[in-house]
Each structure stands twice: as C-alpha cells, then as structure tokens.
Amino acid sequence: MDALVTNRGPLSRVLNLASNKSIGQGCAVKRIPIPTISAHQILVKVHAVALNPIDFISIDILAPRGSIIGCDYAGSVAPVGERALGQWKVGDRVAGFVYGGLYKDRGSFCRYLKVDADLAWRVPAGLSDGEAASYGVSAATAMLALTVYLGLPSLYEPPASASPNMLKDRSEGGGAILIYAGSTTVGLFAIQLARKIGYTVVTTASPHSFELVKQYGADSVFDYHSPTAAQDIIRSFPCITQALDCISKGPSTEFCARVMARNGGKVVTLLDQGKSKVEGVTYEYLVCFTMFGEKFAWFPPVGPAFPVVASRREALAGFYANLPSLVGYVKPPPLLVLGTGFEKILEGLDELRAGKVSGRKLIVKLE
C-alpha cells in the first residue's frame, strides 16, 4: 500500500530540534506492506484523515526513520481479528486515532491502518468522514486532560449528579475552569466537554476567535494578548483552581498559574513546562500517546520514556465507546477540506508548521 513514511536520521532530527526549523523533506510516499492484525485488532481502510501539529513535529523531530506518519482517521472496517468479531464487522464506519510517527506498521497517512478494536469508535449516520476524523488526537487529549489529569466528574452522567461540590462552588463564583487557547482544536473540544460536565468555561483567544469559542460554549473569553487579561480573569472568576493550557508556549502556562495564585491549583500542559514558580500551583504534562497502553520513548536512551498507565487506556476506550451518543453535545471543530491525496497532506502540514491555521481542523481525503 502507499503510505507517508519518514526518512530522517537522528542527526537531522536533532538539528531541527536545535534550530526550530524543518530542514529538507522529512517524509515521502512509499510502498509498504499492508499491516497484519492480531486477534483483538481491526484493519481500517482509510477514507479521510485530520492533520495535527504532532504530525509535523514527528516528521521534523520525533519520528525514527521508516515510521508511518499520521494519527487521526475515519474509514471502514476491513478484516476483523477473531476476538473483535462481536464488536465490528467488515464495512462498519469507524474513526479514531493511532500513534503515527513511531512504528513501521502503524499510522494513519496510508491506505490501511491497524488499531485495537476497543480504541476506535463507531461513526453514526449523519457524520461525514472528515467530521468523524476530527475526533482524534484533539478530542481524546481534551477528554484525558479534563477527566483523568484534572479529575473532573464523569462525562457520561448528567451534571446534576456529577459533583455536589462543583455545583456549590459555582454559586460562589467558582465551578469555573480555565481553558487557555480555546480556539485551538484541543480547546474547542475541551470547552464543549467541560460544559457537558457542567463547568463554567473561561477561555482565552485572539479577538478574531471570540465568536468561535462562544459558539462552542465558552461562558467568558479574554484576549490573551492583553497585559491585563490574567487580572481581568481573577476579578471575574476568583476561585479557579483548574486549567488546561491548550498551547503551552511562551507565557501561556505561567499565565494560567497566575490566575490561580490565590487558591493554588493545577495546570495541565501539552508541552513540558517544567515546574511552576507560583506557590501552590502544579503543572502536569500530558502526552496523548500514553492512551494506547504501550510504553514508548523519544530519542532513546537519552530522551524521555513513557511507561504504561492503564487508566489512560481505559479512559480512551470509555470515551470512544460513549462518543456516538456524545456527538450531539460535542460537535466537530470547523473543518477545512484540502482535497484528496498525500500531496494535500504535505501542503496542509506546511500550513500548520507555518502557524497559519486558526480555529480550523484540516482534513484530507484518501478515497
């Protein structure tokens, strides 16, 4: 089958890391074998993929030579492993995300991918392939951050029974969560999920994204460029103790910590931000690929290693099992369908790399 496969050696990846550049072409379309599935996996014929910043970060820096790139997908079930036969049948519509950028036989920018049968979700009628593909890395990351890292109540129960404390706090001006960079696609999912759980959502965005984040359910939005934004949030929402920093760049995480300086709290970050300098505030770094229940490492043996944490895999399986009934509350981000074929994926990744994408999920069709 055709697949987008990386071709960088370690030196080129380290150079890119050091220079914050993407030197040369880091991947190409190659003919590789169709993956073989185990008893608990399904093979998926890929119809559409969604693009994420991690895709170009993998190509430029993280992925060993020969890895298939791409995480988010939607498609149809091809062969089903014998232990997954009760769950799936050939032709079912399916979507999800895989760890693209590490393995020679796993990734979504290809014709066929393999995935554990319980880590994919059944696409309901009425949702296009592009829409379905957009519930991958971004949606799962938002879910993991809120329900596991920040310990918000269950997504799958009505808010009233979820947490009496939360509802009490809300009447005292609390019950609010800060979603920093709400117009990222992680942010748009986080806003909706936090609202579904019953939280008041405070977010930051550029003024051109204010309407967008409100459409997705933000209760209050502040311009992160404003020098008074953190103080303005504290004045209106003095009890915030939980934040998800959906960008984790520049001053963003420190901004979240300042908002929580009075009461202390926790900020979940999507890039490693080290330790907080604000007393009582902790940072916790989330890596979405830990949801697959397999250990892995970046730049071994010197880089970080990620052990198996079973609860994260369970969270993803639970999310995808429940997602068909959640899509009424949690809509896809605005989509921009770039066209069909691997060349369109490369064009889209260049747009993401250049920081030109705002408030949109880029989609490419492969069928």
Residue 297, classed as helix, strand or coil, is strand
Residue carrying structure tokens 């599935």: 37
Tokens of 265: 């709290």
**Residues across the chain:** 367
Q: Whole-number minimum distance, CB 223 to ligand NAP, in Å?
A: 9
Residue 69 amino acid letter: I
Q: Whole-number minimum distance, CB 184 to ligand NAP, in Å?
A: 3
Q: Whole-number minimum distance, CB 286 to ligand NAP, in Å?
A: 5
Please choose, from the candidates 302, 289, 296, 272, the residue with its C-alpha nearest in 3D space to the C-alpha of residue 10. 302
Q: Nearer to ligand NAP by C-beta: 55 or 118? A: 55
Q: Whole-number minimum distance, CB 208 to ligand NAP, in Å?
A: 6
For residue 323, how far is the Cα from the chain centroid? 15
Q: Nearer to ligand NAP by C-beta: 42 or 54? A: 54
Residue 294, classed as helix, strand or coil, is coil
For residue 266, how far is the Cα from the chain centroid? 19
Q: Nearer to ligand NAP by C-beta: 336 or 352? A: 352
Q: Whole-number minimum distance, CB 190 to ligand NAP, in Å?
A: 9
- Return residues touching ligand NAP (CB under 6 A): 52-54, 137-138, 141, 181, 183-186, 205-206, 209, 224, 246-247, 249-250, 252, 270, 286-288, 352, 357-359
Q: Nearer to ligand NAP by C-beta: 156 or 210? A: 210
Residue 236 amino acid letter: S
Q: Nearer to ligand NAP by C-beta: 72 or 129? A: 72
Q: Whole-number minimum distance, CB 166 to ligand NAP, in Å?
A: 25
Q: Nearer to ligand NAP by C-beta: 252 or 273? A: 252
How crowded is the C-beta side of 211, counted as CA atoms within 13 Å?
Answer: 2
* DSSP state at residue 275: -
* Residue 119 exposed, middle or buried by CB count within 10 Å (0-12, 13-18, 19+): buried
Please choose, from the candidates 106, 91, 93, 122, the residue with its C-alpha nearest in 3D space to the C-alpha of residue 38. 106
